[in-house]
Amino acid sequence: MDAKNIFTTKRIIFLLIFFVLVLIGRKINFSPVLGAENQFFTLYQFFGPTAGAFLGPIFGGIAVLFAQLADFLIMGKEWTWVSILRFLPMLFAAYYFGMSVKKRNQNWIKVTVPLICIALFIYHPIGRQAWVYSLYWLIPVFAVILPKKVPGKLLFRSLGATFAAHAVGTAIWIWTIPSTVGMWLTLIPITGYERLLFGLGIAGSYVIFNTALDYAVEKWKISFPAQELFLSKKYSLLRLVKS
């Protein structure tokens, strides 16, 4: 495949804008990660998965990986297997959120990965005693099988993406970081609250980005060839103004 068809001008511009947003977002802490010293959920969790929707699941994942690697290098973080594995949650979230754009029957991946994470969590001696915590990861499964005409589909899709990231991250966490049953049980309401906000943030940022792109298309007559950049006018606030 010709590299020029992959790294088009518009995609590169989107990558650069996304990269800047990631650098800013990862510096704005939202809440501490319990059980980990000096680690925080950041503003990045509120918009990271949307790259998959605008660039497609594969190229969106590449954009997320590129942004995370660049941030990792700039911050001078230590390279360990655990730190590398922590790239995976947002990569899968971008894939999960972006796959809804594609018209391919690959929903089995979005269903299988959370179920595998549940199995990995319960297989762990600590996770086995706190198995109820892993029920959160049925949300990405339900978000996939819901009929397309269900109201609030974007919110379900956003919640699915953030809980998909959570499933992958937690499955890695429980096998690499010491934890207790009590910690996981205590996290149940906290996780629900945080992920609900992340889901609302993903849905909101997707609407904002769609609106901005829609405005650019109307203002400067920009065109996006098929498979280059996905714009969903259905989620543009300009539609409300025009109507």
How many CB atoms within 10 Å of residue 114?
28
Q: What is the domain partition of the chain in residue ranges?
A: 3-242
Predicted confidence pLDDT, tens digits, the chain (243 residues): 445 555 666 677 777 888 888 878 878 877 777 656 666 778 888 888 998 888 888 788 888 888 888 877 777 677 777 778 888 999 999 999 988 654 555 688 899 999 999 999 999 999 999 999 999 999 999 988 877 666 678 899 999 999 999 999 999 999 998 999 999 999 999 999 999 999 999 999 999 888 888 887 777 666 665 556 777 878 888 876 765
Within 8 A by CB and 6+ apart from 134, the residues are: 117, 118, 121, 122, 127, 167, 170
Closest CA to 61 of 22, 87, 86, 94: 94
Structure pTM?
A: 0.86
Are 91 and 55 contacting, i.e. CB atoms less than 8 angstroms apart? no
State the residue for tokens 């949300």.
139
Q: How many CB atoms lie within 10 A of CB 6?
A: 12
Under DSSP, the state recorded for 28 is S
